[in-house]
Structure 1
């Protein structure tokens, strides 16, 4: 079964190749699959994202644990885990859908629920434990893997959690992949400048399910790299089928405009 075309993979390849293959000469072209229908192009990140690094509003999810306090009502103070369905159970209110809310939105829901019994309740909600928000750090880092956001995490903190850059890392062109099938975004960051000058403009706050990809300074072979990147991102992006066309890769590296083309990525061999 094929999903409607997902353009993000080709866009990632295009961006990385343009940045890492300047001066390449001969490239071997191969045909790995059929061209699919035109899809909606991947949207660039908004400019305001780079103006200053601000903490992202943390969104609760299953597995997170919150502490709820009501001023002068110790009987309503409790620690509540969010269950697998995304709900917490709270006195006087019953089940509350907490997943997908910020702590302030959850606070307002609880306050509205108990205001029927308590006049002008003063409710506070804080995060005790985080399990739901994950980020993926892949590519040229010492220990690639999945890491939990502890209420907030920026790109450099995520890379530090992964053991830092390898000697082959291209820290001037780090990519953050975020969004969903309908509105994917790819954000290019210059972390060399951030490390050297202490600039925070490109050291952005990460969101749950962001993918941080650190490319290598030099890539020798386009076709092999396409397969490598496909296998690397497959478990994270959960493509149904994936085929990266060698011709697309080659055309991108030669500077040709491939806007409007899409690819279906074949599932890597078991």
Structure 2
């Protein structure tokens, strides 16, 4: 009975420990990068679709005016998290020759206030805010902590001394 309980607990803990949600998204080739919202206040405005992923508080797809810059989209996404790597933020820009990667040093912008460091976005741009090395280390530490807990439960159940 103890062995059956032990196996059940280990399997249950393993499922929780290693479970992940898989999300597959394949954009259709006929999706436009722009959205037309009509005339508002006498001004015609096109909107474009941009993604922001990684270490921001609200990652996802944003439909923004076509004159939006990087700083505005980052603000709409809730800003960078405290473990975001601000020195190497990637903007992946699709083009007919293939994807082009633009690097943004947001930390340098915060230190200098130089507006030339903030690029204007193009339709279909994807902004990727990576985590720092401390973020990666904390993920490994959490994994090792979970393994230690599982081994502790195993030792308690089996009466290992």
Q: Same fold (TM over 0.5)?
A: yes
Structure 1 residues not aligned, in runs of 5+: 1-59, 68-78, 80-124, 225-270
TM alignment of 1:109-188, pairs within 5 A: 126-127=43-44, 129-130=45-46, 132-180=47-95, 182-188=97-103
Q: Give the match's secondary structure for 2:107.
A: helix
Q: How many residues align?
A: 106
Structure 2 residues not aligned, in runs of 5+: 1-32, 141-161
TM-score by length of 1: 0.35
Cα distance in 1, alignment partners of residues 79 and 55 from structure 2 = 9
- 2:37 matched to 1:64? yes
RMSD between superposed Cα atoms in Å: 2.9
TM-score by length of 2: 0.57
Q: Per residue, is there more strand in 1 or in 2?
A: 2
Larger relative contact order (Cα-Cα within 8 Å, sequence gap ≥ 6): 1
Deviation of the 1:215 alpha carbon: 0.4
CA contact (8 A) 1:139 1:216 kept: yes
Q: Per residue, is there more helix in 1 or in 2?
A: 2
Deviation of the 1:199 alpha carbon: 1.2
Cα distance in 1, alignment partners of residues 69 and 54 from structure 2 = 17
Structure 1 runs of 4+ with >4 Å offset: none
